[in-house]
Amino acid sequence: MVRAPVDPQGLEAALRPHGESVMLPQEAYTDPAVLAWERRHFFADKWTCLGRVDELADGTTYRAARVGDVAVVLTFADGAARAFANVCRHRGHELLQPGQTGDRQAVVCPYHGWSYNLDGVVKAAPRMGETFDPSGYGLVELPAEVWCGWLFVNALGGAGPFSEHLGGMADLVAPYRPESLTLKARHSYTVAANWKTIAENYHECYHCPLIHPELCKVSPPTSGDNWDLPGAWVGGTMDLRPDAETMSLDGRSRGIPLPGVNPRTVAYVGLFPNLLVSLHPDYVMTHRMEPLEPGLTAIECSWYFPAEVTDPSYAVEFWDITNREDWAACESVQRGAESPHFRPGPLAPAEDAVYQWVTMLARGYLGKPLS
């Protein structure tokens, strides 16, 4: 695998033991060449989350999507989600344009009209001659997995098994049964910060006393522990204060407790590269990130509740305020990272999950296994 265009000595410094290490080199946050490398190797060649399969499939049989720098066609037939390269097997025209969806039983190439069934097999190849056998020209299929309701695609096929990617995270998330929950609210943010900065900020509460008065009212910022289990993810728990039922402005829940989950903690897990999952006693919130530029990231924040819950506003209000506090901090960190005087700084003991995340990235940049 090709190494990232990131200073190897800087990566060595990031990989020193926690307490001696520093953050990633400046170019990791600012250089378009690094983002191009990440799109290819961290997104297209790993398991990237494209969203919830029920939302992607809703009202469609196929849709265009992107996994890092690779354009894909997703198809939905008989309850199965599949992913294919968005490249016609005739002369390579794109089958779908960005954002395009359809509800027919075949995907038709707009160039010479070859059509493909939803399983990628050629349905018709007009006027190719009587002796032409289309059976060897099906669409290139890409590994896809649905887990807890989310669709993941490995567009270059080089990632290991999805179960190894998840590792110990699978058992931590399973009790919340996210696949049984319903989307009740969504906010889309565009944040002027690198996508990794947003994850780094997510993985520590060292900043909470300074910028999150609402959060500190319901959850002690020094509470909880981080996990160190197999898999390409980082995360930990935080406690709720004794008088708080969930993360909301007054600590009250107006939802329904999720059965079989710890009612006293909130778990924050980040699955490499782009899905942050926040597990509450009564709802699940996700942040799905898509890098747009080195200093610009689209974030889709979603709140999932049991179907019977009609008013998610207690959770949305709390997290929208907290999100905006975080985005302001991340945007300031980005401006700092772009300064000629920026130097990678050290990590506090409480930033152990940031350390785990940064070392995972540094190993990936060097072409080594993430975990």
Residue in 90, 123, 254, 363 binding ligand FES, rule: CB under 6 A: 90
Among 93, 186, 324, 368, binds ligand FES (CB under 6 A): 93
Nearest to 279 by CA among 315, 231, 327: 315
Based on the shown chain and the rule CB under 5 A, indicate whether residue 326 belongs to the binding site for Fe ion: yes
Nearer to ligand FES, 92 or 99 (CB): 92
With binding defined as CB under 6 A, does residue 111 bind ligand FES?
Answer: yes
Least separation in angstroms between residue 201's CB and Fe ion is: 6
- Which two tokens mark 181? 């929950």
Piece of 112-120, 168-176, 292-300, 350-358 that binds ligand FES (CB under 6 A): 112-120
In the list 67, 71, 109, 266, the residue contacting ligand FES (rule: CB under 6 A) is 109
Kindly determine how many residues on this chain lie close enough to bind Fe ion according to the rule CB under 5 A: 1
Nearest-approach distance from CB 64 to ligand FES, in angstroms: 15
Supply φ then ψ for residue 301, to 5 degrees. Answer: -105, 125
Written as one string, the DSSP assignment of 111-163 is TT--EEETTS-EEE-TTS-TT--GGG-PPPEE-EEEETTEEEE-TTS-S--HH
**Shortest Å, Cβ 247 to Fe ion:** 12
- Comparing CB distances to ligand FES, the nearer of 113 and 161 is 113
Q: Does 97 bind ligand FES (CB under 6 A)?
A: no
Tokens standing for residue 41: 């190797």
x/- mask, ligand FES, residues 113-142, rule CB under 6 A, reads xx----------------------------
Contacts of 226-231 spanning 24+ positions with Cβ under 8 A: 226/352, 226/353, 226/356, 227/168, 227/172, 228/356, 229/167, 229/168, 229/169, 230/164, 230/167, 230/168, 230/371, 231/164, 231/165, 231/166, 231/167, 231/168, 231/169, 231/170, 231/371
Stretch that binds ligand FES, among 51-59, 104-112, 305-313, 352-360 (CB under 6 A): 104-112
CA 107 to chain centre: 27
Residue 160: CB minimum distance to Fe ion, A: 32
Interface with ligand FES, residue 84, by CB under 6 A? no
- 257-268 burial: b if 16+ Cβ within 10 Å, else e: ebeebeeebbbb
Is the CB of 326 or the CB of 352 nearer to Fe ion? 326
Sheet holding 48-52, edge to edge: 48-52, 150-153, 144-147
Choose one: 106-114, 146-154, 232-240, 266-274; the region binding ligand FES (CB under 6 A): 106-114
> 326 touches which of ligand FES, Fe ion, none (CB within 5 to 8 A by kind)?
Fe ion
Q: How far is the CB of 40 from ligand FES (least distance, A)?
A: 24
What is the identity of the amino acid at 181? L
Residues 6+ apart with CB under 8 A from 201: 207, 326, 329, 330, 333
Stretch that binds Fe ion, among 120-128, 222-230, 253-261, 319-327 (CB under 5 A): 319-327
**Cα→Cα distances 225→68, 118, 221, 222, 371, Å:** 32, 45, 11, 9, 19
Residue 88 interacts with which of Fe ion, ligand FES, none, CB < 5 to 8 Å by class: ligand FES
Instruction: Name the residues that contact Fe ion, by CB under 5 A.
Output: 326
Instruction: Name the residues that contact ligand FES, by CB under 6 A.
Output: 88, 90-93, 109, 111-114
